[in-house]
Structure 1
Amino acid sequence: MEAMVQQMVDREAIRTCVARLARGEDRRSADLIRACWWPGARFDYGVHSGDFDTYLAWVVPGADAIKDTQHLLGQTHIELDGDAAKAETHVFSYHRIDMGEKGERDTCIGGRYLDRFEKRANETGDGEWRIAHRVMLYDWEQDWGQAADWSKGVMGYPFTAGHFSGRAKGDFSENWFAGDGK
């Protein structure tokens, strides 16, 4: 029974790491992202690859043309092998792209992250699951066309406060979790 409980704890730690990374990417938070990868980790997104420092410089601050992103995570299949694990997580990612004079466009990508996780001692000496290697598989991509203008509200209703502006720059949820929000 103890081994089964440890496997459940390990699987949840891996899922939490994947979710924390998506949250960090959407907010372009170097601290959140760094907490998900081991130093020396590698990545291959097909359009860009390299070591962790290369990845971090690619994602933070992110391309000026990519105004907002949102990563929605689906199921994560995890195979544990001691202090190593393989995980496949389905992802649906939205991107608002500034096309210059042509305006902004909304695009979406569907795919899967193939992550190799390792459980190692972190900075405080505790065992922690983080990504050692990631490959991004693309299953589909869709250009949704001209971006909607969210500045005035949604579905004909105006926004009631300035904190509804998105995540990439000044995310309200950061203050909310810190206890500064209502």
Structure 2
Amino acid sequence: MTDPAVLTEMVAHHHIRHCLAAVARGEDRRDADILRGCFWADASVDFGIFAGSFDAYLDWVVPGADSIPCTLHTLGQSLIQLRGQAATAETHVTAYHRIDFGEAEHDVLLVGRYLDTLEARDGVWRIARRTMLYDWTRDLGVAVDWSQGLMGMPFLRGLPVGRARGDRSEIFFG
């Protein structure tokens, strides 16, 4: 029979990973409700270019800057260390941002790590503190308009792509 402590740890890891993935989706979709479900109300964040309370972070991320019409946060491995009802997690992230610099939109990549302190309160895991560490960034130059198709081929059904809101994933997840 499996040790109940091992099962408890596995379940905690699952809930923490789900929380981390939901934050990425909440930021990309600029969805305040998703983000509220991932951070404690008394949480703090520090992105180097922004630091503050959860409420200030929410005001910063939702609705997001008009000059950044879309983002895509792709998470890599997470190292999670449990300490009872608290945990620390380091998660690698590659973040794509389309940024309007006025004269042209650029595709920009940021690569780094989230350092999260999470807490379980009443059995629910959420982030209490997040710090972003940047490992490198690259401006890929003027963005290509791929909204009508890819590699010279048009989209068959007029798929709306490259948007923070109004894409098919909102319909898919309801």
TM-score range (shorter-chain normalised) is: over 0.9
Partner of 2:13: 11
Q: Distance in 2 between matches of 1:177 and 1:51?
A: 29
Partner of 1:134: 130
What is the TM-score when the length of structure 2 is the normalising length? 0.96
Give 1:61's aligned amino acid: P
Q: How many residues align structurally?
A: 172
1:155-174 maps to which residues of 2 (within 5 A)?
Answer: 155-174=151-170
Shift of 1:177: 2.5
Shift of 1:152: 2.3
Partner of 1:124: none
Give 2:171's aligned amino acid: N
Percent identity for Structure 1 against Structure 2: 56
Shift of 1:165: 2.0
Q: 1:57 aligns with which of 59, 79, 94?
A: 59
1:73 and 1:90 in contact (8 A); partners too: yes
1:27 and 1:171 in contact (8 A); partners too: no
1:146-157 maps to which residues of 2 (within 5 A)?
Answer: 146-157=142-153
1:102-141 maps to which residues of 2 (within 5 A)?
Answer: 102-121=103-122, 127-141=123-137
- Point out where structure 1 has 5 or more consecutive residues left out of the alignment: 122-126
Shift of 1:117: 0.2
Q: Distance in 1 between matches of 2:169 and 2:114?
A: 25
2:108 and 2:140 in contact (8 A); partners too: yes
Deviations 1:147-169 (A, max 9, x none): 01112211011012233323402
Shift of 1:99: 1.1
Partner of 2:33: 31
Shift of 1:51: 0.3
- Point out where structure 2 has 5 or more consecutive residues left out of the alignment: none
Root mean square deviation, CA, Å? 0.9
2:147 and 2:162 in contact (8 A); partners too: no
